[in-house]
Amino acid sequence: MTYERFNKIIPAGNILIVTNAEYNDLVREQLPEMPTANILLEPQRRNTAPCIAYAAYKIVSRDPEARLVVAPSDHLIINETEFLSIVNDGLSLVGSSPVMLTLGIQPDRPETGYGYIQADKSKLTTAFNREFFKVKTFTEKPDLPLAKVFLESGDFYWNSGIFFWSVSTIITAFEQYLPEIATPFEDGLGCFDTSREHDCIEEIYSASRSISIDYGIMEKATNVHVLACDFGWSDLGTWGSLYDQKEKDKENNVCIGDKPFLYDVNGSLINVPKNKLVVIQGIEDCIVVESDDVLLICKKDQEQRIRNFVNDVKLEKGESFT
């Protein structure tokens, strides 16, 4: 869906997908028309900064004047017409000015599962009949009291994780704020779109640290702007947001896969494998997810703790269960 959405305004040859190497077959199955050279396979998990650096340096080797929009593939966007209009305007802005742009979503609840962007309402740029504010701060997922403060202030937006910049602007930012990532990619420019690319990326990733683009660059840069948007957005990377979007039964439960036997269960999301007999009794507002050899049960309003659970499992059981 993400590919098809962007393909309405961006030529297919200009769309790149960055994903872990283990998902190569899945991407090819869903998008058989994608050129092999446009599927960038990461050999290891290194968060979003190396991922974006990989794409940026490959793109600059093809077109030093390129403008980029970076978008996660697990987002639901309901109003595509408005979204694509925003994308066109965002690309125009970063093509005419050395700024970095992110899209902020107007919050409607004190959500603890999203990061937040604070806009400096005193620093406004008007272009394309839209208001672009200078970014004051980025804040990672807050606790509930702080999320309520953000909502009441009116200056904070959910961080959509959708970014715009020219390729020269983002590479300059990597050189300034993450030179340890920029230097090996710079040294490897000659390997892109050649038979040496795979080995080059293996070497770069093996030496690269794991860091997000938000923490590594966006929080430090002084030329970041935010555009407040409303196009029916949801980050389906969380179980809670998936629950919000799916149809509920009369007890407000969402069941994915074969429906289990439920007794006195309300307001919960249950995702279990098909053809597996599951019986659940006496829970409310919970997430129940089984995948392979892992079973997760937690409260919906505590979903942000899942990353802590994952870290604990890694320490005790190693990587095989995560």
pLDDT in tens, 69-109: 999 998 888 889 999 999 999 999 999 999 999 999 988 88
Q: Please say whether the beta carbons of 150 and 156 come within 8 A.
A: yes
For residue 236, give the 3-state DSSP assignment: coil
3-state DSSP assignment of residue 305: helix
Sign of CA dihedral 158, 284, 310, 17: negative
Phi, psi (degrees; rounded to nearest 5) at 195: -70, -15
Nearest to 162 by CA among 237, 112, 110: 237
CA–CA gap between residue 204 and residue 186 (Å, rounded): 11
> What is the C-alpha to C-alpha distance for residues 113 and 50, in angstroms, rounded to an integer?
23
In b/e form, how buried is each residue of 257-268, taking b as 16+ CB within 10 angstroms? Answer: eeebebeebeeb
Q: Can you list the domains of the chain with their CATH numbers?
A: 2-235 (3.90.550.10), 239-321 (no CATH)
Q: At what angle do helices 179-187 and 167-177 cross, to 10 degrees?
A: 120
269-271 vs 130-139, strand pairing mode: unpaired
- pLDDT score recorded for residue 113: 78
Q: pLDDT under 50 in the chain at which residues?
A: none
Closest alpha carbon to 76 in 282, 236, 216, 297: 236
What pLDDT was estimated at residue 292?
73
- The SS3 call for residue 284 is strand
The CB density around residue 150, as the number of other CB atoms within 10 Å, is: 20
| DSSP-based three-state secondary structure for 161 | strand
In the sheet with 269-271, reading across from the earlier edge strand, the strands are 254-256, 269-271, 286-291, 294-299
